[in-house]
Structure 1
């Protein structure tokens, strides 16, 4: 273990991982989403893609944890239950794809998916029908496959909630709790697949503190009246991360 820790601390690019973890936590804290969209395109340039997802799910457990009790009170629990169960059923299919994917293809796919989801969020593209239980179940399934394969479960859920009649407080709460439960499910999936060990586990613990700090700072500055400002800042940071990943994958 000491040798692995020393190797992790000597990893080229560790500073970028730590910085990106903090920024991703900051955005998650004030916007309620964006951790994977910000962290993965950068992390996949530094470490193995499966490692990057492992680091993400380990670090992301602590970050939003302080906000979970309040979010459970503010959220819509029936929708949350449907999303979580549907994701759990679909997640194994995504994990099979993740463990088989070529690293270069993963880098490219994560950046492209992040940019597509960002474009959908910025242009207001969203589900236009009624948000019924079957629609919520379907969204959870899509998020499970996408999250398992690319580590990005949030955008389908966010796009769905942008079309719902829930107030911003409820949407933010449900998104926060859903992503936390997704990380728990991913953690279990990686454990049973024998992927939760060694260097990526240690790296996840190392970047957990800066990510938690970012979440706390972001949560402290959050104010419902400035939601549009928070989203604008989140969009710019996601765009910068995704474009850097796309450039690295192509050139």
Structure 2
């Protein structure tokens, strides 16, 4: 444990975790978009993804029973079918490119997601079952290559005529399954070692505390303000993650 606490950049990881948790608490999204760009400056790409998945596995667990009840099971199966096909491909890309490429990819995907959110872009076509498979496949590749499976699902599900509770529950189940599959595949490849696993475990506590603080800060009548703050923080994290500035 002393060696883990002496990990270079651990302070930055705790900072990124708390910042991501606060935004997740009052805006409802943004954990990976904030954590990964910053974590990529102090950790190898695989370690950044492992610490995120470990840290983020615990928080949603109490919501799983409700997510199973409220979610769209057929869509979860379709998304996960696409995920299963392309996640190994994305991970193969991740393991074959230099860390700088990972950091550019994370920041680029973050900027694209942020631009879509700020502009209010919505997919106008009908989201048919074959397209859901495709969305899952896109999410699987991005989840493997950049640790960001959420953006494709979030953007396209905004277009579906489904209650917000159903979309949220479906996304929660999908991301939990992604975390399990990504960790399983990386473990099978021998990429999950004790150090990143323990770092992720350490970050669980500040993550949960920050989410609770962020949720306590939330007031419905200030939702637009919170979103603007979230967008600003996400943009700042994406800029920090660019290799142009070097490592922290």
TM-score, shorter chain, exceeding 0.5: yes
Is 1:235 the equivalent of 2:225? no
- 2:22 aligned to 3, 26, 41, which one? 26
Matched, 1:196 2:192: yes
Which secondary structure state, in structure 2, belongs to the residue aligned with residue 46 of structure 1? coil
- Residues 90-99 or 12-21, more deviating: 12-21
Q: Deviations over 1:176-205 (max 9, x none)?
A: 222122111111111111111121111111
Are residues 1:179 and 2:213 paired?
Answer: no
Question: TM-score, length-normalised on structure 1?
Answer: 0.89
Report the RMSD for the aligned CA atoms in angstroms. Answer: 2.0
User: For 1:244 and 1:22, how far apart are their aligned partners in 2?
Assistant: 16
Q: How many residues align?
A: 245
Match of 2:152 in 1: 156
Runs (5+) with no aligned partner, structure 2? none
Give the structure 2 partner of residue 92 of structure 1. 88
Distance 1:119 1:93 in 2: 26
Deviation at 1:71, TM superposition (A): 2.3
Deviation at 1:145, TM superposition (A): 0.4
Q: 1:142 aligns with which of 138, 158, 174?
A: 138
By how many angstroms is 1:72 displaced? 2.4
1:32–1:172 contact (8 Å) kept in structure 2: no
Structure 1 residues 180 and 23, CA gap change in structure 2 (3 angstroms): farther
Q: Who is 2:126 aligned against?
A: 130
Pair 1:80-2:86 in alignment: no
Deviation string for 1:23-68 (max 9, x for gaps)?
2233334444321111110001111122111111111111222222
Which runs of 5 or more residues in structure 1 are unaligned? none
